[in-house]
A = this chain, B = another copy of it.
């Protein structure tokens, strides 16, 4: 990673995004907001959590830029902002070749097992 100010900015944004995503409640809030904006009360409801507890999670998400607040002064509905996810995804894409290589190895092993099963019927019969 180059130590440019741009790189540092991206890096600290990635820190905030990944830290915000490292919590099941916060991920569930994002999943809820993916189906439309919602007020704090609406977000708190399915979690059996107090509104202050939910508000804390919302602050973490807001600081990471993952949600924003609507202009309606009464409800202040929260909305999903996906740009930080695009940036985090771009970081992850650089490693795609590694996990795809793993899957290919797994596929090769499964293929080998299938061939073994087909060519060794006696072994299979013994087990029955």
Copies in the complex: 2
Q: Which residues of B have CB within 8 Å of A15? A: 22-24
Set B12, B14, B16, B80: member contacting A98, Cβ < 8 A: B80
Q: Tally A residues with Cβ within 8 Å of B.
A: 36
Q: How far is the CB of A5 from chain B (nearest CB, A)?
A: 14
Set B1, B80, B86, B98: member contacting A34, Cβ < 8 A: B98
Tell me the nearest residue of chain B to A33, going by C-beta. B98
9-residue interface stretch from A50-58, A88-96, A109-117 = A88-96
Asked if B89 and A34 make an inter-chain contact with CB atoms under 8 angstroms apart, the answer reads no
Q: Which residues of B have CB within 8 Å of A80? A: 95, 98
- For window 56-93 of A, CB contacts with B under 8 Å fall at 80, 82-83, 85-86, 88-89, 91-93
A27 interfacial by beta-carbon distance below 8 Å: yes
Q: Which residues of B have CB within 8 Å of A21? A: 14, 18
Asked if A11 and B24 make an inter-chain contact with CB atoms under 8 angstroms apart, the answer reads yes
Q: How far is the CB of A121 from chain B (nearest CB, A)?
A: 34
Tell me the nearest residue of chain B to A84, going by C-beta. B99
**Subset of 9 A-B contacts with CB under 8 Å:** A14-B24, A14-B27, A15-B22, A27-B91, A80-B95, A82-B98, A82-B99, A85-B95, A85-B99
